[in-house]
């Protein structure tokens, strides 16, 4: 007898579950086909009501790892790679779709309907060995799914043993390895029975974040012909997704599709910089075995990072067409920058593209090698992402991933979701763990909503308790320090210095969060720990003489000084070091986060601007040029991945440093906006805008004036060249 899975429902997570959805169905699976293949499950059912008698018809479905849903031969919706990835032992997301337009009711085809669900392995069953141990994930099992169809309030279909299954034409699918599609095999012939599956341990919750959808299709900008059967297609920009290919051939011919960011000798895929963590020869590849006539196909259960695609095929086949499909989680624009400065425009475009093409249910580090949600990458880029896009529910979901992965002692991993083992040793530590403090605080500042603080307050407290266990006499030495640093000039900053700064940042943020929530006791304890950490830093690391930008920028930003003389000395040394390095950035991701901001706050915008505008190595413009002009790279010299977003904080500085749009911490949610523009003489046109919860704030700079728009129910303080004026809602003009 099939048992409803009442114990797998979180009654507090969504009001939809009050109506008993997904309480009657069972998870089903099959073991009749190879695990690398994608099985298709099918169910025939009838609806006795006529269309005009139906007010509502919905399907509730979760298919792990990913699923494709069809009703009466039509794919339901436009969503890709559903449901969102999570720690399946803690949380499993389901989706809800209105399916009225897909159904046959009693007045059409006698109400006969056929529902199909094809399952891919996704993150659930990653069988390729990799550097993050997902092949050993605690949740790993065969793909499985659960579903219920409701017509009005009546349960019409549920998953149970009455379904049947067959192998689809997708005979291989792997998250990083790609897919093999065999159009030569017959579909829906070898049907097998299904079996009830042990459900995932995670609680079922409705997916609230936006889905992944197709953003655009791109035609090749150039074609390199290696041979009559070997072509390389250049799509002109680095992107994430796959290709749709149309091949004409007899049945059984082979087409190999290889995705890459760069070429070797200008015509062959060069995967070496991004493949070293995937321990399998098959990586970033799709295969098509042709059917008779024209085969048109794109993958459904994986995605790749690429600019170039090499297609090799058997003689006798003809490539009729090929287009790149760029897809990512859907987010709305919340801000933008227009300028006549080509360097800023180029970097801003690369920041946006790197952010979007690394958005697949969470902020990932890169769309090819890893696809992982690295903590530091995510929180360092959070500021610019919130200014550019509506990221609030994305970050909330990702923070939930960290909470799901938090250990009983409070420790969190450096990636989330994680397989259950990776990320708690190497890679963890305060510099990365800041994520669960920093992102809630930024969400609060940006929206003014305290729910982002209260929701994660207990996990923060739990982490603080853990942090005490790895701290001795105010000093912590666990974890990573500066990352991907340029080290060709100056001194390397010791990891322990960066770690200690991060510990201080955690206690300082937690104090602010506790104050915002009115928890005076927690705030007082955080203040004591904050002061203890500061004292320990000054005593142990406060008097180093380093030719290092981050060392002084970090001290200034966190005010880690015992007196004014020390503070002034650090500021002077920072200027000396920057000028001694010819106003280039030397350092890694934490320096990129702090340097321009600190110099601007010190009154040395001139130095910050020089650093930002450098066109040679090391600099952002140089980095973007190396990637082909469309994304940021993992390193300033472009040595590894050409699509990372962790060096993107300069994008936040475009808003705050140049346009001068700054949040007042005392009045979060842009209730009061501090506008302090810094305008280089060479810029004659610069406009920055952001949609706050009260409306649009905009700063528009021309050769003669600065125009400021203050949204409804907000105030602003305008500060520029001695002018300090309080503004209310409206538009204002100031002489430049």
CATH 2.60.120.260 in the chain is located at 6-209, 215-329
Reply yes or no on domain 6-209 having CATH 2.60.120.260: yes
Residue 275: which pLDDT band, with cuts at 50, 70 and 90?
Answer: confident
- Higher pLDDT, residue 281 or 18: 281
* C-alpha span between 705 and 691 (Å, rounded): 22
* Helix, strand, or coil (residue 531): helix
pLDDT tens track for 92-145: 999 999 999 999 999 998 999 999 999 999 999 999 999 899 999 999 999 999
Calculate mean pLDDT across residues 306-330.
Answer: 97
Give the residue range(s) of CATH 1.50.10.10 domains in the chain.
335-659
* Interval 1-24 mean pLDDT: 46
Q: Give the C-alpha distances (Å, rounded to integers) separating 361 from 104, 241, 331, 401.
A: 33, 14, 11, 11
pLDDT of 4 strictly over 80: no
Q: Which tens digit of pLDDT belongs to each residue from 229-274?
A: 999 999 999 999 999 999 999 999 999 999 999 999 999 999 998 9
Q: How far apart are CA 194 and CA 137, in angstroms?
A: 24
Which string of DSSP letters, residue by residue, matches 397-413? Answer: HHHHHHHHH--TTS---
Q: pLDDT (tens digit, 9 = 90+) per residue, 644-672?
A: 999 999 999 999 999 999 999 999 999 99
The share of the chain scoring above pLDDT 70, in percent, equals 97
In the DSSP assignment, the letter for residue 53 is G
User: Tell me, what's the pLDDT at 278?
Assistant: 87
The CA distance from 158 to 148, in Å, is 4
Mean pLDDT for the stretch of residues 195-216: 96
Cβ neighbours of 505 (radius 10 Å): 20
3-class secondary-structure state, position 713: coil
Query: Using one digit for the tens of pLDDT, what is the confidence trace for 593-610?
Result: 999 999 999 999 999 999
Tens digit of pLDDT for each residue in 153-189? Answer: 899 999 999 999 999 999 999 999 999 999 999 888 8
- Summarize pLDDT for 17-74 with one digit per residue, the tens: 434 689 999 999 999 999 999 999 999 999 999 999 999 999 999 999 999 999 999 9
For 678-714, letters b (16+ CB in 10 Å) and e give: bbbeebeebebbbbbebeebbbbbeeeebebbbbeeb
Q: With CA atoms as reference, report the closest residue to 717 among 726, 708, 709.
A: 726
What token pair was written down for 479?
A: 């974890």
Per-residue pLDDT, 6 = 30
Q: Please tell me whether residue 382 adopts helix, strand or coil conformation.
A: helix
Residue 5 has pLDDT above 70, yes or no: no
The pLDDT value given to residue 21: 80
pLDDT over 60 at 11, yes or no:
no
> What are 579-594's pLDDT values in tens digits?
999 999 999 999 999 9
Q: Does residue 8 surpass a pLDDT of 60? A: no
Return the pLDDT at 374. Answer: 98
Q: What SS3 state is found at 68?
A: strand
- Report the pLDDT value the prediction gives residue 19, as an integer from 0 to 100: 47
Three-state SS for 250?
A: coil
CATH number of this structure's domain 335-659: 1.50.10.10
Residue holding tokens 């001139």? Answer: 606
Residue 280's pLDDT band (cuts 50, 70, 90): confident
Beta-bridged to residue 71, according to DSSP, are 74, 115
- 440-461: b (≥16 Cβ within 10 Å) or e: bbbbbbbbbebebbebbbebbb
- CA–CA dist 412, 92 (Å, integer): 20
Among candidate residues 361, 430, 368, the one with its CA nearest the CA of residue 401: 361
- CB–CB of 96/149 below 8 Å? no
Distances 356 to 40, 212, 441 between C-alpha atoms, Å: 31, 11, 22
- pLDDT above 90 (res 2): no
Alpha helices for 481-545 (secondary structure H): 495-516, 520-541
Share of the chain above pLDDT 90, in %: 93
| Listed residue (468, 438, 431) closest to 453, CA to CA | 438
Residues 6+ apart with CB under 8 A from 137: 123, 124, 126, 419, 420
Is 465:410 a contact under the CB 8 Å cutoff?
yes
- Give yes or no for residue 457 having a pLDDT over 60: yes
pLDDT at residue number 488: 85
Give the per-residue pLDDT at 189. Answer: 81
Distance in angstroms (rounded) separating the CA atoms of residues 396 and 406: 15
Q: Widest CA span of the chain, in angstroms?
A: 87
Q: Residues 622, 624, 626, CA angle at the centre, nearest 5°?
A: 70
Nearest to 526 by CA among 543, 509, 548, 540: 509
**CATH numeric code, 215-329:** 2.60.120.260
The sign of the torsion formed by the CA atoms of 98, 101, 102, 106 equals positive
Q: What is the rounded average pLDDT of the residues 510-525?
A: 98
């Amino acid at each position: 007898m099939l048992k409803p899975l009442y114990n797998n429902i979180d009654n507090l997570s969504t009001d939809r579950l009050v109506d008993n959805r997904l309480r009657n169905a069972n998870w089903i699976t099959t073991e009749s086909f190879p695990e690398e293949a994608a099985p298709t499950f099918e169910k025939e059912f009838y609806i006795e009501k006529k269309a005009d008698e139906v007010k509502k018809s919905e399907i509730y479905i979760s298919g792990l790892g990913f699923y494709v849903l069809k009703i009466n031969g039509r794919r339901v919706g436009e969503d890709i790679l559903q449901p969102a990835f999570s720690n399946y032992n803690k949380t499993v997301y389901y989706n809800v779709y209105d399916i009225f337009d897909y159904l046959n009711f009693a007045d059409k085809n006698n109400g006969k309907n056929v529902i199909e669900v094809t399952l891919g392995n996704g993150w659930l069953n990653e069988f390729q060995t990799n550097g993050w141990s997902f092949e050993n994930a605690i949740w790993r099992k065969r793909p499985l799914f659960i579903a219920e169809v409701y017509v009005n309030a009546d349960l019409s279909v549920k998953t149970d043993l009455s379904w049947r299954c067959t192998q689809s034409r997708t005979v291989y699918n792997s998250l990083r390895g790609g897919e093999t599609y065999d159009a030569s095999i017959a579909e829906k012939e070898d049907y097998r029975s299904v079996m009830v599956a042990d459900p995932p341990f995670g609680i079922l919750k409705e997916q609230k974040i936006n889905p992944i959808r197709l953003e655009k299709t791109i035609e090749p900008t150039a074609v390199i012909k290696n041979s009559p059967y070997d072509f390389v297609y250049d799509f002109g920009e680095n992107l994430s997704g796959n290709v749709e290919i149309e091949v004409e051939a007899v049945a059984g011919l082979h087409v190999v599709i290889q995705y890459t960011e760069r070429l070797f000798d200008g015509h062959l895929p060069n995967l070496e910089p991004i493949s070293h963590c995937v321990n399998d020869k098959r990586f970033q590849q799709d295969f098509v075995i042709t059917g008779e006539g024209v085969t048109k196909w794109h993958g459904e259960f994986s995605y790749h990072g690429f600019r170039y695609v090499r297609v090799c095929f058997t003689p006798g086949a003809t490539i009729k067409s090929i287009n790149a499909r760029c897809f990512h989680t859907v987010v709305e624009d919340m801000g933008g920058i227009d300028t006549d400065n080509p360097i800023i425009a180029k970097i801003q475009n690369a920041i946006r593209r790197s952010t979007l093409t690394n958005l697949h249910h969470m902020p990932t580090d890169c769309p090819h090698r890893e696809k992982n949600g690295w903590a530091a990458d995510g929180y360092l880029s959070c500021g610019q992402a919130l200014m550019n896009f509506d990221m609030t529910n994305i970050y909330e979901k990702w923070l939930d991933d960290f909470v799901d992965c938090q250990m009983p002692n409070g420790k969190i991993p450096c990636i989330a979701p994680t397989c259950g083992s990776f990320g708690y040793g190497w890679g963890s530590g305060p510099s990365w763990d800041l994520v669960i403090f920093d992102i809630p605080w930024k969400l609060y500042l940006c929206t003014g909503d305290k729910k982002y603080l209260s929701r994660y307050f207990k996990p923060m407290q739990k982490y603080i308790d853990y942090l005490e266990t790895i701290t001795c006499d105010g000093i912590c030495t666990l974890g990573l320090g500066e990352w991907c640093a340029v080290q060709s000039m100056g001194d390397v900053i010791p990891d322990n210095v960066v770690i200690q700064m991060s510990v201080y940042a955690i206690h300082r943020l937690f104090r602010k969060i506790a104050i915002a929530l009115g928890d005076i006791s927690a705030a007082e304890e955080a203040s004591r720990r904050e002061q203890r950490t500061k004292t320990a830093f000054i005593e142990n690391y406060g008097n180093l003489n380093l030719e290092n930008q981050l060392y002084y920028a970090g001290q200034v930003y966190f005010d880690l000084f015992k007196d004014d003389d020390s503070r002034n000395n650090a500021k002077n040394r920072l200027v000396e070091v920057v000028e001694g390095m010819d106003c280039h950035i030397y350092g890694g991701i934490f320096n990129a986060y702090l340097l321009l901001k600190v110099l601007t706050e010190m009154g040395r915008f001139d130095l910050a601007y020089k650093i930002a505008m450098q066109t040679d190595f090391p600099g952002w413009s140089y980095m973007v040029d190396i990637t082909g002009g469309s994304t940021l790279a993992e390193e300033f010299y472009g040595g590894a991945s050409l699509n990372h977003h962790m060096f993107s904080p300069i994008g936040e500085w475009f808003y705050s440093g140049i346009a001068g749009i700054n949040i007042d911490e005392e009045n979060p949610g842009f209730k009061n906006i501090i506008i302090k523009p810094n305008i280089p003489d060479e810029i004659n046109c610069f406009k920055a805008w952001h949609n706050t919860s009260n409306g649009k704030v905009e700063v528009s700079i021309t050769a003669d004036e600065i125009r400021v728009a203050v949204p409804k129910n907000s105030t602003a303080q305008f500060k520029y060249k001695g002018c300090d004026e309080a503004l209310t809602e409206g538009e204002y003009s100031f002489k430049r």
